[in-house]
Chains A and B, each alone.
Chain A
Amino acid sequence: MLAAHHPIQRHPRAKLLAADSEGVLRHIPRANFPSLLLPGDLVIANDAATIPASLFGEHAGSGASIEARLAGRSSLDPGDVREFSAIVFGGGDFHLRTEDRPVPPAMRPGDRLAFGALRGVVAAVLSHPRLIQLRFEGEPDEIWAGIARQGRPIQYSHVTEPLALWDVWTPIAGPPVAFEPPSAGFAIDWQSQAAISGREAAFATITHAAGISSTGDPQLDRLLPFDEPYRIPQATVDAIRRAREGSGRIIAVGTTVVRSLEHAASSGGCVRAGEGVARQRLGPESVLRVVDAILSGTHEPGTSHYELLRAFTDDPTLRRMDDELNAHGYRTHEFGDSVFVERRERQVGAVVRAA
C-alpha cells in the first residue's frame, strides 16, 4: 500500500473497504461510514488526546543529543506523571527512518537527561538497552508544563512536514494520555456523530493510552503493544448494555477500543466500568466477547494491528481485503484510508453470553 504523506485527518476522498459478517466486501467513501450502521448499534471511540511524547534533549554524561519517546505509564491518574517508560533514540529526527536512526549512548541507571527545562534521570534500563524507565524531576504540574512546552508529537519519516499537536488530536480528543494518536478516530468528527445519531445508533467513548506503533528495532517491535492503561466510563457500560438488549452491534473505532473492552471483559465476559491496564495481545485465537465490528486503518500483514483483525475474520477474507486495498490504491498509516471488519460469525459471542 501507499503511505499517506500529509497530515490530513479527513481527506475528502478517503476510502473505506467494508467486510461484512459473511466476508462480502464493498468499497464506500469513508465519509459514508454511518451508512453501515443499523438502528440500535453502538459506536465506541477512544477519546484519548495525544501527549507531545517526543522529547529532544541531551544525555548529560556524554553530551550526546537524544530523543526520548514516552511510551507508557502505569495509570491514567493526572498526578502519576513522574515515571514513564521511554524509548531512546540517538541524533537526528523524524526525517530519518526510525530503523536508520543512530543508536543513543549506553543508558545506565542514574544517568541524567535534560529536555529543555524538563529534567529527568534513568531510573532503570528495562528489557532492551534502549527501553528505559524515565523519572522526571519536579511536581506533577511542572512535569505537565515541561512536556507540553518541550514535547512534539511522535512522528515517522513517511510524513514529511513537522506535525503539530492539532494534526494528531482527534476531533473528540479529551484527556491527554495517548503516546500516539488513536488515529481510527480521525474519521469521527462532529458531523459524523450527528449522522450516527441520525441512523438511530448511539455513540460512546473509552479512554485508552494508545502506545507507540513502531520503534525501528525488530527486538523492541516484538514487545509491542506495551501495557496500556484505560478507563471505561459507567455511561459507556450502560450504553453497551442497552445495545446488547436491543441486539445492536458494538462497533469499535480502532484497535485500542477493542483492546480495552476485551480486556475489561476477559474475566467473566462482563465489561466493568473503571480503570484497568490492557496487557493482552489479540490475534486469530482470541475470543471476542464484546466487540462485533471494527473501524480501523489499513494495516500491513505481520503488524500487531493486522493480527488483531484476525480475531474478527478469517485469513482468506483478510487476503481478499489485502488484494482489494492494493488494487484500489488505498493509503496506509495514520492519515490513510480505512477498513471496516465485522466479526465473521457471532456464534462465539452467543456461546459466551449463554454460558
Chain B
Amino acid sequence: MSGIWTGRRVAITGGTSGLGLALVRELSRQGANVAFVARGREAVQQVARENPGTHGIVGDVGNKEDIHPIAVQIGGELGGVDVLINNASSLGPVPLALLGDTECEDLEGALAVNLLGPFRLTKALLGALAASGREGRGAVVVNVSSDAAVEAYPGWGAYSASKAALRHMSAIWNKELEAAGIRFLSLDPGDMDTPLHALAAPDADRASLKRPEAAAIELIEAIGEALEHRPVTAGGAVTQSC
C-alpha cells in the first residue's frame, strides 16, 4: 500500500465527524491531497487546522444551490479529482419513526442528502473524474452505504429507502462509466460509534460498535484495490507527438 495515496486528489463529504473525519485524517496522513465538505463553518475550520494541507469547504450537499460552489472549490483547490467519497448522510426523522409516522418533508430531506446530493456532486465532478480515468490515474467514486440499504428494518424507512436507491444508482453509474475508467463502489462500513448512530440508537452499547477509524482503514483499502494500485504518475516515456 505504501505510497499509493501520495498526491491522490480526494474529496470527502461529511468530513467533520464520524467516518468522514476518520477518512480525512487517515488519507491526509497517507499523503493524499484531501478536500472535505461539511455544513458547519467552525467545525470545518477546526478540522482543516488540525489536519494541515487539507482543504475545508463549507457547504450542504443536500442543497442544490450549494453543489456547484462546492464543485468549484474541490476542482479549483485540488486541480482535479481522483476519488470522491459521498459520505454525508441524513437519518431522516430523528428520533427514527415508522413510515406511517414519517413526515413527507423528512423523507425528502433524507433523499436530498443521501441520494440527490451524491448524484448532483458526482455529476458536477464527472468530467474531472473521467479525466483521471483517461490519464491512467484511476478514478473511484465511493457511495457510503448501509445494511439498511438491503435489509428492511422497521423505523429506518426514510434512511433505508434513500440508501437502497443510492446503492442501485451506484451499480448503474458503474456500468455506464466503466468504459470511461470510473469505478463506483457502494460500501457498507458497518455499525460505527458515530454521532449519526447515536442519533439513531441513543441507548446502543458503544463498546459493541466499530470505531470509525477502523472502518476508515477498511474503506481506504477497498478504494486502493479499486484504483488497481495505479501510481499517480502514469504514462509512457514518450512525451511528444509529431
Q: Which residues of A contact B (CB under 8 A)?
A: 47, 49, 51-52, 76-78, 81, 140-141, 144-145, 147-149, 164-166, 169-176, 190, 193-194, 197, 204-205, 207, 233-238, 240-241, 244, 268-274, 353
In the bound complex, do residue A78 and residue B134 qualify as a contact, i.e. CB atoms below 8 Å apart?
Answer: no
Distance to closest chain B CB from A16 (angstroms): 23
- Chain A residues closer than 8 Å to B176, beta-carbon distance: 190
Q: Does B29 contact A (CB under 8 A)?
A: no
Choose from B134, B135, B235, B240 the contact partner of A271 (Cβ within 8 Å).
Answer: B240
Cα A271 to Cα B241 in complex, Å, equals: 5
Cα A197 to Cα B79 in complex, Å, equals: 27
Apart from A147-B72, A148-B68, A169-B124, what 18 extra A-B contacts exist at CB < 8 Å? A47-B127, A49-B127, A144-B77, A148-B69, A165-B69, A172-B126, A172-B130, A175-B76, A194-B179, A233-B134, A233-B135, A234-B234, A237-B238, A238-B241, A244-B242, A268-B242, A272-B240, A273-B240
Cα A158 to Cα B38 in complex, Å, equals: 37
Complex interface residues of chain B between 189 and 242 (CB less than 8 A to chain A):
234-236, 238-242
Question: If the complex has contacts A49-B127, A78-B79, A190-B176, are A234 and B236 also in contact, measured as CB distance less than 8 A?
Answer: yes
In the bound complex, do residue A52 and residue B72 qualify as a contact, i.e. CB atoms below 8 Å apart?
Answer: yes
- Chain B residues closer than 8 Å to A236, beta-carbon distance: 134
Most B-side CB within 10 Å, residue of A141, A169, A171 = A141
In the bound complex, do residue B68 and residue A270 qualify as a contact, i.e. CB atoms below 8 Å apart?
Answer: no
In the bound complex, do residue B76 and residue A238 qualify as a contact, i.e. CB atoms below 8 Å apart?
Answer: no
Question: In chain A, what residue has the closest Cβ to B128?
Answer: A174
Question: If the complex has contacts A145-B73, A197-B179, are A237 and B239 also in contact, measured as CB distance less than 8 A?
Answer: yes
Choose from A52, A141, A194, A241 the contact partner of B241 (Cβ within 8 Å).
Answer: A241
In the bound complex, do residue B134 and residue A204 qualify as a contact, i.e. CB atoms below 8 Å apart?
Answer: yes
A interface majority secondary structure: mixed
Q: Does B58 contact A (CB under 8 A)?
A: yes
Distance to closest chain A CB from B67 (angstroms): 8
- Chain A residues closer than 8 Å to B142, beta-carbon distance: none
Distance to closest chain A CB from B18 (angstroms): 23
Cα A174 to Cα B48 in complex, Å, equals: 24
Choose from B76, B126, B131, B234 the contact partner of A144 (Cβ within 8 Å).
Answer: B76
In the bound complex, do residue A175 and residue B80 qualify as a contact, i.e. CB atoms below 8 Å apart?
Answer: yes
Could you pull out 10 A-B pairs where Cβ atoms are within 8 angstroms? A47-B131, A78-B78, A148-B76, A165-B72, A174-B130, A176-B75, A205-B134, A233-B134, A234-B234, A234-B235
Choose from A147, A148, A173, A237 the contact partner of B240 (Cβ within 8 Å).
Answer: A237
In the bound complex, do residue A235 and residue B136 qualify as a contact, i.e. CB atoms below 8 Å apart?
Answer: yes
- Chain B residues closer than 8 Å to A140, beta-carbon distance: 77
Question: If the complex has contacts A148-B69, A234-B235, are A170 and B76 also in contact, measured as CB distance less than 8 A?
Answer: no
In the bound complex, do residue B127 and residue A172 qualify as a contact, i.e. CB atoms below 8 Å apart?
Answer: yes
Cα A167 to Cα B72 in complex, Å, equals: 14
- Chain B residues closer than 8 Å to A173, beta-carbon distance: 124, 127-128
Most B-side CB within 10 Å, residue of A81, A166, A197, A234 = A234
Cα A145 to Cα B241 in complex, Å, equals: 38
Complex interface residues of chain B between 27 and 79 (CB less than 8 A to chain A):
48, 55-58, 68-73, 75-79
Distance to closest chain A CB from B155 (angstroms): 36
Cα A291 to Cα B178 in complex, Å, equals: 29
In the bound complex, do residue A170 and residue B240 qualify as a contact, i.e. CB atoms below 8 Å apart?
Answer: no
Cα A170 to Cα B130 in complex, Å, equals: 13
In the bound complex, do residue B75 and residue A175 qualify as a contact, i.e. CB atoms below 8 Å apart?
Answer: yes
In the bound complex, do residue B68 and residue A164 qualify as a contact, i.e. CB atoms below 8 Å apart?
Answer: yes
Question: In chain A, what residue has the closest Cβ to B130?
Answer: A172
Choose from B75, B128, B238 the contact partner of A238 (Cβ within 8 Å).
Answer: B238
Complex interface residues of chain B between 89 and 109 (CB less than 8 A to chain A):
none
Distance to closest chain B CB from A243 (angstroms): 9
In the bound complex, do residue A78 and residue B76 qualify as a contact, i.e. CB atoms below 8 Å apart?
Answer: yes
In the bound complex, do residue B239 and residue A148 qualify as a contact, i.e. CB atoms below 8 Å apart?
Answer: no
- Chain A residues closer than 8 Å to B180, beta-carbon distance: 190, 193
Question: In chain A, what residue has the closest Cβ to B124?
Answer: A169
Cα A353 to Cα B126 in complex, Å, equals: 36
- Chain B residues closer than 8 Å to A271, beta-carbon distance: 240-242
Question: In chain A, what residue has the closest Cβ to B35?
Answer: A141
- Chain A residues closer than 8 Å to B127, beta-carbon distance: 47, 49, 169-174
Annotate B106-140 by CB proximity to A: 1 below 8 A, 0 otherwise.
Answer: 00000000000000000010111011001110000
Cα A164 to Cα B71 in complex, Å, equals: 13
- Chain A residues closer than 8 Å to B58, beta-carbon distance: 145
Cα A272 to Cα B56 in complex, Å, equals: 35
Question: In chain B, what residue has the closest Cβ to A153?
Answer: B68
Distance to closest chain B CB from A129 (angstroms): 30
Distance to closest chain B CB from A83 (angstroms): 15
Cα A46 to Cα B136 in complex, Å, equals: 18
Question: In chain A, what residue has the closest Cβ to B177?
Answer: A190
| Shortest Cβ-Cβ A-B pairs, 4 listed | A234-B235, A241-B241, A165-B68, A174-B128
Distance to closest chain A CB from B130 (angstroms): 6
Distance to closest chain B CB from A55 (angstroms): 13
Distance to closest chain B CB from A136 (angstroms): 13
Distance to closest chain B CB from A48 (angstroms): 9
Annotate B141-183 by CB proximity to A: 1 below 8 A, 0 otherwise.
Answer: 0000000000000000000000000000000000010011000
Question: In chain A, what residue has the closest Cβ to B239?
Answer: A273
- Chain A residues closer than 8 Å to B77, beta-carbon distance: 78, 140-141, 144
Choose from B75, B235, B240 the contact partner of A174 (Cβ within 8 Å).
Answer: B75
Cα A175 to Cα B77 in complex, Å, equals: 9
In the bound complex, do residue A234 and residue B135 qualify as a contact, i.e. CB atoms below 8 Å apart?
Answer: yes
